[in-house]
Amino acid sequence: MKDRKLSAALVLSLAVASTGLTADGVEVTIPNAQAGECYAKVLIPAKFETHTEKILKKEAGERLQVIPAKFGKVKERVLVKEASTRLTVIPATFKKESEKVLVQDEEIHWKTSLKNKIPVSPEILSAAKAGGADLDSMSIGSCYREFFTPAQYQVEKQDYVARAASETLKIIPAKYETVKERVLIKEESQKVVPVPATYEYVTERILIEPEKTMWKKSQCNGRNNECGVMCLVSTPAKYKTVKKKVIKTPATTKVVDIPAVYKTVEIRKLVTPAQVVRTPVPEIAKSYTKRVKTSDPMFSWSLVGTKAHGKYTGHQICKTATPARYKTITRTVVDQPATTKEVEIPEVYKTITVTKIVTPAEVKRIEIPEEFSSITKREMVTPSRMEWKKVVCQSNMGVSTIRKVQIALRDQGYYKGPIDGIIGYQTKAALKAYQKKNNLAVGGLTYEVIKSLGASI
């Protein structure tokens, strides 16, 4: 009964606030308030997000493992006499070449007819050409009327190379000397000594939860929280101190040099290489005679069978030809010039025992991974605030409505009391727990809660 009276008083105060005035006459504003509606100032809880963050506990490092060098004795061939060459002469070879040379050019003849050999004078040919006869394009075996002057010839001497120039070769042998020389029998090497890394510890202060402010209900003379007084409370930030192991000086190595070992041996070396002296052999020239025409015949003529210009003289000319004559000559030419053949004299080796590095010393770096630890941070996304919310009026808060709310809270697992239609302590506690769990406004039976529960008025 006491709970019902307190709820009625709260509804009355909200009804007064909806007019724009508080019970003390202080003006307040409830947006879009309508007659017959009831409002209550409720707490909108702050919203938080929780996330896990990895922090470095120990930096990554490395450990050095030295793998020493491996040596082995091997048999090694050492040069004691260098390779050389000996030159021998390969004489030149010759071959015969045949060539067909022109000794008499092809000759054009002008005859009085194709059957006899009476020549035509150049005056007749000249007169015929001056009269329009095309003597150059005239075919062999065609005839004209003509006078003839024979062609003139002379004999010319033509030179050719009967044997080409060549050369003879003379070899001057190489000269040698014996010298002493240092030979490496054990290579220079190194020894690697590891220097380990050193570490130190440092501490770091990490923010776990930042400072925040929240609205909390105040106690009213030791009674329950129906008085509706809210206080803005500041909660300090939370920190955690972690300890880290970091590298002070990284791991390294120190290298120790081991000198090489040598031995003196005798070696035959080339002082002056073999040389070739070349002596030239001049070419041999010969000659042959050639008959060359010095002047062409002259004609005055007209083509037989065609209409002639001028008066016919009664002389007929025909064009004939004497073929060119050739002679085959033979010459001796160099097929392969004289040269030298290089005979290789192999080098001489001596087998000695040498200590050599099979596998050089090396440093194997083994990585030490970094170490992390996880911390959980809770950060406020939206701060809590007070806000006017529409609540169920006393006139609408009947037994059936409260029973529906109790059943819905029971089905959700928040209410375990009797379904009696009374807003008692268990009903209020279940309602408050439901509001907090679903991030709803805390402070009364709002329409928002009824909608979320799926109940109806």
Long-range contacts from 11-15, C-beta under 8 angstroms, 24+ separation: 11/38, 11/391, 11/393, 11/394, 13/228, 14/38, 14/39, 14/40, 14/391
Domain stop point among 320, 337, 354: 337
Q: Are residues 169 and 110 in the same domain?
A: yes
Residues 163 and 99 grouped into a single domain: yes
At 298 the pLDDT is: 53
Residue 20 covered by a domain? yes
Length of the chain in residues, anyone?
457
- Cβ atoms 316, 41 nearer than 8 A: no
- Choosing from 282, 305, 337, the residue where a domain stops is 337
**Has residue 455 been placed in a domain?**
yes
Same domain, 311 and 450: no
User: Pick from 341, 362, 371, 298: which is nearest to 151 by CA?
Assistant: 298
When divided into structural domains, the chain yields a total of 2
Tell whether 168 and 296 lie within a shared domain.
yes
Whether 343 is in a domain gets the answer no
Q: DSSP of 332-386, one letter per residue?
A: EEEEE--EEEEEEE--EEEEEEEEEEEE--EEEEEEE--EEEEEEEEEEEE--EE
Q: Is the domain of 14 the same as that of 155?
A: no
Specify if 265 maps to a domain.
Answer: no
Give tens-digit pLDDT for 144-184: 665 455 777 788 888 888 788 888 888 888 888 888 888 88
29 and 139 assigned to the same domain: no
Is position 209 within any domain? no
The rounded distance, in Å, linking the Cα atoms of 71 and 18 is: 100
Q: Does 441 reside within a domain?
A: yes
Element (DSSP H or E) covering residue 453: helix 447-453
* pLDDT recorded at residue 258: 87
Q: Give mean pLDDT in consecutive 10-residue pieces for the chain, a chain of 457 residues.
A: 38 37 41 67 72 76 82 81 82 85 81 77 76 76 66 81 85 86 83 84 82 61 47 76 82 86 84 87 85 69 72 75 84 84 84 82 83 76 70 73 90 92 90 89 82 78
Helix (H, G, I), strand (E, B) or coil at 296: coil
pLDDT at residue number 15: 37
Q: Is 83 contained in some domain?
A: no
**pLDDT score at 26:** 35
What contacts 451, CB < 8 A, 6 or more positions away?
none
The pLDDT value given to residue 297: 65
**Residues 315 and 425 reside in one and the same domain:** no
In terms of residue numbers, what domain contains 315? Answer: 92-174+273-337
Domain check: are 32 and 101 in the same one? no
Residue 101 lies in a domain: yes
Q: Which of 456, 444, 452 is nearest to 44 (CA)?
A: 444
Name the DSSP class of 162: E
Note if the pTM is more than 0.85: no
Q: Are residues 169 and 279 in the same domain?
A: yes
Element (H, E) at 448: helix 447-453
> In this structure, are residues 388 and 22 in contact, taking their beta carbons and an 8 Å threshold?
no
